[in-house]
Amino acid sequence: MSRPIVAVPADIREFDGVTWHAVQNQYIRAAVNAADLMVLIVPAMEDGNDIDAILDRVDGLLVSGSASNVHPSLYGQVARESDGPFDLARDATSLPLIRRAIDRAIPMLAICRGIQELNVALGGTLASEIQEQPGIWDHRKPQNVDRDTMYSIRQSVFVKDGSCLAGIVGPGEVQVNSLHRQAIADTAPRLQVEAVAEDGTIEAVSVIDAKAFAVGVQWHPEYWAETDSPSRKLFAAFGDAVRDYAALWSSCHKPNYRLMAP
Ligand SMILES: N[C@@H](CCC(=O)NCCCC(=O)O)C(=O)O
């Protein structure tokens, strides 16, 4: 069987005076080398997305991190200048893909911005500049350092016993990296918290009653996915879930969801 394919929604980036649809190589490298998958980059479009057309052709969804923030209007708040940078096209592509992948039992791993999009997509809210809150650490990426240092493993998270994540990396303390200034505030009703930092910041969730792998993490397992054990285990579990989905549908035609009731 050929390698299953995961969709990765792109960011909109501007350089050389041109608008690009971009995904950082670390996500692609982790999907290919640690999960043994192929990747299809999905362009970020503010409108005109045909979500089922995309999901009909892939076996999983990998939602990457990004320096941009989910627009506050998507979780009922007024956007302040300090809440940016924004990427409306990414929001308009990622959130429907997340909702529909859950509906269709397509395996999904959401990372950093991805867990925030997952929470907002299912009705939750986000907190900004969390380091300014009393008792909350500075989870932001270190500045003026090389990328290995920026993504260095430097924080403990505590995986809840009996959680989906505990079944992958084990319960208890796990060492991870941290590069974010937002975090889940109100947890969406369909999400269960799977790991927290020592300061209480939500670090991982899973979708309650999901029919497939549906996990979000606030840290970046993709960066060290080939060398760090918890990172590699998470990507291997995601890869296995995607292969199971692909095997299920390879033996029978995928239903055409566009013909089914919305
Ligand atoms: N913007 C959100 C999500 C953070 C995130 O995805 N970080 C990845 C950093 C990528 C980079 O800057 O290279 C937040 O800040 O919480």
Tell me whether residue 203 is one of the annotated catalytic residues.
no
Q: If DSSP codes are grouped into helix, strand and coil, which group holds residue 258? A: helix
Tell me whether residue 222 is one of the annotated catalytic residues.
yes
Residues with CB under 6 A from ligand 1: 65-69, 112-113, 116, 141, 179-182
Q: If DSSP codes are grouped into helix, strand and coil, which group holds residue 159? A: strand
What pLDDT is recorded for position 255?
Answer: 63
- Nearest-atom number in ligand 1 for the CA of 111 is 6
Tell me whether residue 71 is one of the annotated catalytic residues.
no
The model's pTM is 0.96
Q: Which of 71, 112, 194, 203 is catalytic?
A: 112
Question: What DSSP designation does 81 have?
Answer: G
128-133: list long-range contacts, CB under 8 Å, 24+ apart. Answer: 128/69, 128/72, 128/82, 128/83, 128/181, 128/182, 129/82, 129/181, 129/182, 130/180, 130/181, 130/182, 130/183, 130/201, 131/181
Distance from the alpha carbon of residue 125 to the mean position of ligand 1, in angstroms: 17
Distance from the alpha carbon of residue 67 to the mean position of ligand 1, in angstroms: 4
Integer Cα distance of 198 and 182 in angstroms: 16
Each domain of the chain, given as residue ranges in start order, spans 5-260
- Tens digit of each residue's pLDDT, the chain (262 residues): 799 999 999 999 999 999 999 999 999 999 999 999 999 999 999 999 999 999 999 999 999 999 999 999 999 999 998 899 999 999 999 999 999 999 999 999 999 999 999 999 999 999 999 999 999 999 999 999 999 999 999 999 999 999 999 999 999 999 999 999 999 999 999 999 999 999 999 999 999 999 999 999 999 999 999 999 999 999 999 999 999 999 998 766 666 655 555 5
Distance from the alpha carbon of residue 250 to the mean position of ligand 1, in angstroms: 36
What pLDDT is recorded for position 174?
Answer: 98
Architecture of domain 5-260: 3-Layer(aba) Sandwich (3.40)
